[in-house]
Amino acid sequence: MAEITLVEAITQALAYEMKVDPNVIVLGEDIAKNGGVFRATVGLLDKFGPERVRDTPLAESMIGGLAIGMAIAGLKPVAEFQFMGFIYPALDQIINHAARIRNRTRGRMSCPAVFRAPYGCGIRAPEHHSESTEALFAHIPGLRVVMPSSPARAYGLLLASIRDPDPVVFLEPSRLYRWAKQEVRDDGKALPLDVCFTLRVGTDVTLVTWGSLVKETLAAAEMLAKEGISAEVIDVATIKPLDIETILASVEKTGRCVIVHEGARTGGVGADISAQLAERGLMFLKAPVQRVTGYDTIVPYARLEKFYLPSEKHIISAVQQIMEFA
Amino acid sequence: MSVFHLPDLGEGLAEAEIHEWYVKEGDTVTVDQPLVSMETAKAVVDVPAPHAGKIVKLYGKKGDIIQTHAPLIEFEGSASVQKDKGTVVGNLEESSAVLDEGDMIIGAAKKTANTVKAMPAVRALAKQLNVDLTAVTPSGPQGQITVDDVKKLAGQHAPKLGNVEALHGVRRFMAIAMQKSHQEVVPVTIIDDAVENPASQEKDFTVCMLQALVAAIHAEPALNAWYDGKNMERCIHQEVNIGLAMDTPEGLFVPVLKNVEKKTPTELRTEIDALKKSVRARTVAPSELQGATITLSNFGTIAGRYSNPIIVPPTVAILGCGKVREEVVAREGKMEIRKVAPLSLTFDHRAVTGGEATRFLAAIIKYLEEA
Amino acid sequence: MKIVAQFEIPYFQFLNEDSQVVGDLPNFAKDPANLLRLYRLMVLSRVLDAKAIALQRTGKMGTYPSTRGQEAVFIGMGDAMLPDDIFVPYYREIPTLMQRGVKASDLLLYWGGDERGNYFADPKKNLPFAVPIGSQALHAVGIATALKIRHQKNAVIAVCGDGATSQGDFYEAMNVAGVWKLPVVFVVSNNQWAISVPRSAQTAAKTIAQKAIAAGFSGEQVDGNDVIAVRERIAQAAEKARSQQEPTLVEVLCYRQSDHTTADDASRYEQKGIREEEWKKEPIARLRRYLESIKAWSPEQEEALQTECTNEVVKIVAEYEGVVPDEPTAMFDHLYATLPDIYADQYEMLKNIGGTNG
């Protein structure tokens, strides 16, 4: 079995599901002949033909609305937005329609669509290509927000998202697209949504993260172990709805929590996790919950980009600050 | 692998005939090296190699007609083949790393030990009181350890010393005043002895001390002052109101003898006795306990020699006198037995200099030794 | 049944693929000095473009969108504008911005990943590049509205590619320009590709120009490889905007003689041979042959010009490479007019440990 990258795992999942479910349609800009600007959809046009693998005109609101219409009509569209920075014209469609069609028709109609987009900085791209604003979608009732961090989880979570009867915003970490390979069986097995994954068991501190920074968080945990600090690493994976129980169980054990995310600090998803920990986990906390995040600035252009993204050093520093707290 | 197509050899010619191959399959060529000559309607033209490489396949033999833009030669390992960067902006980092994530757990890792439930404030208290939380029995509604739970355990382990009582009244006031003094005052204590004049008559020692203070204040008024540390202001008083420390069963009282500088010894004795009586009877008025500009503590009436008496803010000096004792003193090379009064002067070094304090003490000693 | 509306879309060309004059040359084109000016600018932009690609390939600059083969569009457009006209680009128009006084090294600085590249010494006449496709069309009509309110007799030139014409923002901008009679020229640089999607898959309309009809104003097609036609038609449209407060859509037909950007690979989707076929129409050779035919240009002058352009590009690159990197705290410096106090600790953190990030 071949080892594949995260973006190849996306392709593998799409190919699998399109094979077993004729209702799955893939659409977006440059996704057919070109196979997607990151090659996420490469080969699908040859396998499944132009009816099911569609290059759209250049119009994001249209892509969102098209997908919703298809979904209402019983198809399972997987719509690609070329970058998270260009999903914004479709916010009206996603928020005002995808998220609420089931509710407002009392279940008569629903929207089993997946809205995929690469997100995040760190690839030295021009402006607008480095967004990490998952908090916007996490705020919207009726949506799911899923963010994979490894080839295996990309495969399993995308399958789950396509099969889910409700809309999913599926954000893929572009920085990790080709970083590292992993054995991913093409067996069609989905991973569960709405649950966190514990990637590393530890006893001294809980590191909560998702998406591209899982890489740095695992590396930081490794370095902390050398200093005698045992860190537990949790990959949130489904940002919304958030599985706080897993995080609480971990914090009950460790008494310390550091949340790591790329998106800007204010109103980031870390703030919600921190609030929930204060509400329900205060009994177990030996130190304040820390957040290691992107700054409250626009993601800078390529030259200053490296100063924006949190690093292992930042994570380690945050942990060290709370180890001797109480 | 890359295929080189027959380029347009001149102004839109549709085809050309292979005239002669200069290379064969398997040859390695350099850039611009002539590969083949092609005969067109207009000329015989040499076609150079577009880049270096190894020739894998020739798409025709001599005499074959090749259409313009049709495959002509196939190269192996060509540098002109653009590796698919797989992006449209930026640069995606690749590594040869293979992820080995061990065992990924869906949800939470298994609970290992039962954790104590206690709010952060309770944990802090336990740490302060040196209480092991795991030994505490929780009584809170959510099964959490409360402040009382911690205190109970702390109390259980403390030695049985008797009942805990909260401080009230005079004792409470003393505790507060001493703590405040400790926090604010910068005390220095100078110690010395006053040797009694053998020719002196029997006298009222306390009154004598009061008068010695007046004399010393006359010499060094700086010790008869109030100091405000917050605003850094001092007020040297003209009046000499001496607080006289008195011990009672209830605790320490310091009633104030007002305007000592104006009173005769008899008047002073009368006032002291009156104050003592009212203090013991607990009828002393609050106004009689306030307004001291300097304090005198004759602790020696009970026991003790030297001390570092505590200044009561806002005053800046306190004189302590220990037990008067007979002692051998040296006088002009000869031993004599004299009464010696041990003196301890504490001054607040924020408001009084060492010079002022030592001169003040010298004046006290002079007065007492000449009295 | 009666016909209540019909439309016509004219096509303009003055110098054909064989470098021959068709129809009447516009007046400005009768003076070789003007043509030489345009020619020099086109050659300079091509030399700079090749160098920019090389900078990207050698890691000295980030992703860059080439202008190769489209020089007539950008230079013709820049020459047609008055200094006080407002220019609203998409992201390929380095040559036009250079004509309008923006430092070339600033433009390289933008693609080099430094926000200072958007500063532009002349702040208000040229908008910065617009990456969200088509969004700039709405900014253009906003600016045009301001001009109209102030009775300012200037035009707004808003440019976008063929891909952008599918965006809602494009339609909405055109619609309001028509109904409010705004002084905008919508220039659609139709280079036949939106990354990998060919023009035929973008819209079923026979021309993009006719989308103006639906918005209530006129549209035309122009041969984008004929710098004379580009210059003339955009100048006319700009004058119509200034004097009559009437918008126009000018669809300029050209061909993208490059990948979409340096990170794209057109060989994945572009049929072999098309590029070479289209190259026959390329604008610089076309004008050069014409100039030579009227004895206004010689091979010696060509060689001298190439040298001159190479030297100038060397200077531009030196200026670009000489820029000292900005401080990391620059991320906060223009976030607000005054940075709110609540961000002070993040600012300090960036100041102190920002340098250790990454």
Mean pLDDT throughout B301-316? 94
What percentage of chain A exceeds 70 in pLDDT?
99
- Work out the minimum CA distance from B248 to partner chain A, whole angstroms: 45
What is the per-residue pLDDT for B168?
86
A34 touches chain C (CB under 8 A): yes
B99 touches chain A (CB under 8 A): yes
* pLDDT of B83 strictly over 80: no
Name the CATH code of domain B2-76 (choices 2.60.40.10, 3.20.20.140, 3.90.330.10, 2.40.50.100).
2.40.50.100
- Judging contacts by C-beta atoms under 8 Å, the chain C residues touching residue B12 are 280
- For chain A, how many helices (H) and strands (E)? 12, 14
What is the per-residue pLDDT for B42?
61
What is the per-residue pLDDT for B157?
67
Mean pLDDT throughout C144-172? 95
What is the per-residue pLDDT for B13?
62
Do A32 and A68 lie in a common domain?
Answer: yes
| Chain C partners (3+ C-beta pairs within 8 A) | A, B
Do A10 and A75 lie in a common domain?
Answer: yes
Q: Higher pLDDT residue, B321 or B101?
A: B321
* pLDDT of B81 strictly over 70: no
| pLDDT band at B173; cut points 50, 70, 90 | confident
B142 touches chain A (CB under 8 A): yes
Do A134 and A29 lie in a common domain?
Answer: yes
Task: Summarize pLDDT for A191-212 with one digit per residue, the tens.
Answer: 999 999 999 999 999 999 999 9
What is the per-residue pLDDT for C356?
41
Among A301, A311, A316, most C C-beta atoms within 10 A, so best to mutate, is A301
- Domain C11-326 fold is Rossmann fold (3.40.50)
Q: Which of A81, A77, A75, A57 is nearest to A14 (CA)?
A: A77
B86 touches chain A (CB under 8 A): yes
C224-250 burial code (b ≥16 CB/10 A, e <16)? bbbbbbbbbbbbbbbebbbeebbbbbb
Taking the domain B120-157, which CATH number applies? 4.10.320
- Where in chain B do CATH 2.40.50.100 domains reside? 2-76
Among B11, B69, B83, B84, most C C-beta atoms within 10 A, so best to mutate, is B69
Mean pLDDT throughout C9-22? 97
d(CA A114, CA C320): 43
Q: Which of C112, C105, C70 is nearest to C90 (CA)?
A: C70
What is the per-residue pLDDT for B1?
66
- Return the SS3 of C147: helix
- Judging contacts by C-beta atoms under 8 Å, the chain B residues touching residue A244 are none
What is the per-residue pLDDT for C358?
35
- Work out the minimum CA distance from B76 to partner chain A, whole angstroms: 24
Instruction: Please name the residue of chain C whose CA is at the shortest distance from the CA of residue B84.
Output: C265
d(CA A172, CA A149): 8
What is the per-residue pLDDT for B158?
64
Show the domain range for A14: 3-183
Interface list for chain C against chain A, based on CB atoms closer than 8 Å: 62-63, 110-115, 131-134, 163-164, 166-169, 194-197, 201-203, 264, 268-269, 325-326, 328, 330-332, 335, 343, 346, 350, 353-358
**B positions 49-88 inside 8 Å of C (CB):** 69, 82, 84-85, 87-88
- Secondary structure element (H or E) that encloses residue A119, with its range: strand A114-119
What percentage of chain C exceeds 90 in pLDDT?
87
Residue A182 and residue B99: Cβ atoms within 8 Å?
yes
Least trusted range by pLDDT, from A26-40, B8-22, C196-210: B8-22
* pLDDT of B2 strictly over 90: no
Q: Is residue A35 part of a domain?
A: yes
What is the per-residue pLDDT for B153?
86
End-to-end CA distance of chain C: 71
Instruction: Please name the residue of chain C whose CA is at the shortest distance from the CA of residue A42.
Output: C268
* pLDDT of C357 strictly over 50: no
- Judging contacts by C-beta atoms under 8 Å, the chain C residues touching residue A127 are 115, 131
Q: How far is CA B197 from the centre of its chain?
A: 55
**CA triple B151-B153-B157, angle to 5 deg:** 115
Rg (CA), chain B: 52
Q: Residue for token digits 């800009």?
A: A29
d(CA B127, CA B147): 12
| pLDDT band at B97; cut points 50, 70, 90 | confident
| pLDDT band at B9; cut points 50, 70, 90 | low
Residue pair A124/B91 in contact by the 8 Å Cβ criterion: yes
- Judging contacts by C-beta atoms under 8 Å, the chain C residues touching residue B87 are 263
Residue A29 and residue C195: Cβ atoms within 8 Å?
yes
B91 touches chain A (CB under 8 A): yes
**Cα dihedral across residues C337, C338, C343, C348: positive or negative:** positive
Mean pLDDT throughout C248-272? 94
| pLDDT band at C115; cut points 50, 70, 90 | very high
Residues counted in chain B: 371
d(CA A22, CA B117): 53
* Cα distances (angstroms) measured from residue A126 to each of A84, B82, C133, C136: 13, 22, 13, 17
B266-302 burial code (b ≥16 CB/10 A, e <16)? eebeebbeebbeebeeeebeeebbeebbbbbbbbbee
| Residue A129 among the catalytic residues | yes
Residue B258: partners with Cβ closer than 8 Å, 6 or more residues away: B239, B241, B291
Q: Is residue A192 part of a domain?
A: no
Task: Summarize pLDDT for A143-179 with one digit per residue, the tens.
Answer: 999 999 999 999 999 999 999 999 999 999 999 999 9
Domain-wise residue ranges, chain C: 11-326, 328-358
The fourth-level CATH superfamily of domain B170-370 is: Chloramphenicol acetyltransferase-like domain (3.30.559.10)
- Where in chain B do CATH 3.30.559.10 domains reside? 170-370
- Say which CATH number the domain at A204 has: 3.40.50.920
The interface pTM score, or ipTM, of the predicted complex is 0.81
DSSP string of A236-284, one letter each residue: --EEES--HHHHHHHHHHHS-EEEEEEEESTT-HHHHHHHHHHHHSGGG
Q: Higher pLDDT residue, A105 or A265?
A: A265
| pLDDT band at C65; cut points 50, 70, 90 | very high
Which of C263, C272, C280 is opposite residue B5, by nearest beta carbon?
C272
| Chain A partners (3+ C-beta pairs within 8 A) | B, C
What percentage of chain B exceeds 70 in pLDDT?
94
Residue A285 and residue B120: Cβ atoms within 8 Å?
yes
What is the per-residue pLDDT for B199?
78
What is the per-residue pLDDT for B163?
77
Do A125 and A21 lie in a common domain?
Answer: yes
Q: Which long-range contacts (CB under 8 A, 24 or more apart) does A10-13 make?
A: A10/A40, A10/A116, A10/A154, A10/A155, A10/A158, A10/A172, A11/A39, A11/A40, A11/A41, A11/A42, A11/A43, A11/A44, A12/A155, A12/A184, A12/A186, A13/A154, A13/A155, A13/A156, A13/A158, A13/A159, A13/A162
Least trusted range by pLDDT, from B5-9, B152-156, B188-192, C54-58: B5-9
Residue B108 and residue A302: Cβ atoms within 8 Å?
no
| Residue C46 among the catalytic residues | no
Among B13, B89, B93, most C C-beta atoms within 10 A, so best to mutate, is B89
Residue pair B240/B328 in contact by the 8 Å Cβ criterion: no
Q: Is residue A156 part of a domain?
A: yes
Mean pLDDT throughout C236-264? 96
Q: Higher pLDDT residue, B141 or A288?
A: A288
**In the A/C pair of chains, how many CB contacts fall below 8 A?**
127
What is the per-residue pLDDT for C122?
67
Residue A252 and residue B111: Cβ atoms within 8 Å?
yes
Pairing of strands A168-173, A144-146: parallel
Task: Summarize pLDDT for B211-220 with one digit per residue, the tens.
Answer: 999 999 999 9
Mean pLDDT throughout A264-284? 95
Strand partners, B15: B67
A296 touches chain C (CB under 8 A): yes
- Secondary structure element (H or E) that encloses residue B217, with its range: helix B205-219
Residue pair C42/C297 in contact by the 8 Å Cβ criterion: no
Report chain A's mean pLDDT, rounded to a whole number.
95
Q: Is residue A259 part of a domain?
A: yes
- Judging contacts by C-beta atoms under 8 Å, the chain C residues touching residue B85 are 263, 265
- Return the SS3 of C355: helix
How much of chain B is in helix, strand and coil states, percent to nearest 5? 25, 30, 45
Write out the two tokens for B304. Answer: 């003790």
Mean pLDDT throughout A60-87? 94
What is the per-residue pLDDT for B120?
84
| pLDDT band at C186; cut points 50, 70, 90 | very high
Q: Which residue in the list C256, C288, C290, C320 is annotated as catalytic?
A: C256
Residue B90 and residue C276: Cβ atoms within 8 Å?
no
Query: Beta strands of chain B (E only): which ranges?
Result: 2-5, 15-21, 28-29, 34-39, 44-48, 53-58, 65-67, 71-76, 105-106, 187-195, 225-228, 233-236, 242-244, 246-248, 251-253, 256-257, 294-297, 317-321, 325-331, 334-348
Residue C272 and residue B91: Cβ atoms within 8 Å?
no
**CA triple A69-A74-A78, angle to 5 deg:** 65
Write out the two tokens for A36. Answer: 């997607």
- Where in chain B do CATH 4.10.320 domains reside? 120-157
Residue C56 main-chain phi, psi, to 5 deg: -65, -45
Q: Which residue in the list A97, A128, A129, A139 is annotated as catalytic?
A: A129
Q: How many CB atoms neighbour CB C165 within 10 A?
A: 28
* pLDDT of B51 strictly over 80: no
Residue A125 and residue C133: Cβ atoms within 8 Å?
no
Residue A86 and residue C269: Cβ atoms within 8 Å?
no
User: Domain total for chain A?
Assistant: 2
Kindly report whether the global pTM for this prediction surpasses the value 0.95. no
- Judging contacts by C-beta atoms under 8 Å, the chain C residues touching residue A130 are none
Mean pLDDT throughout C219-229? 98
* Residue that finishes a domain, picked among A183, A207, A232: A183
Do A26 and A175 lie in a common domain?
Answer: yes
* Cα distances (angstroms) measured from residue C14 to each of B164, C11, C29, C225, C255: 108, 10, 10, 10, 18
Residue A54 main-chain phi, psi, to 5 deg: -115, 125
Q: Which residue in the list C57, C116, C269, C343 is annotated as catalytic?
A: C269
Q: Residue for token digits 């069986």?
A: A185
Write out the two tokens for B93. Answer: 């980092």
Residue pair A18/A47 in contact by the 8 Å Cβ criterion: yes
What is the per-residue pLDDT for B10?
57
Pairing of strands B65-67, B15-21: antiparallel
Write out the two tokens for B157. Answer: 């382990």
| DSSP-assigned letter for residue B150 | H
DSSP string of A67-115, one letter each residue: HHHHHHTT-EEEEEPSSGGG-GGGHHHIIIIITTHHHHTTTSS----EE
End-to-end CA distance of chain A: 49
Instruction: Please name the residue of chain C whose CA is at the shortest distance from the CA of residue B92.
Output: C263
* pLDDT of C350 strictly over 80: yes
Q: Higher pLDDT residue, B40 or B292?
A: B292
Do A209 and A74 lie in a common domain?
Answer: no
Task: Summarize pLDDT for A97-142 with one digit per residue, the tens.
Answer: 999 999 988 888 999 999 999 999 998 888 999 999 999 999 999 9
**A positions 104-123 inside 8 Å of B (CB):** 123
Q: Which of C201, C172, C218 is nearest to C5 (CA)?
A: C218
Strand partners, A54: A27
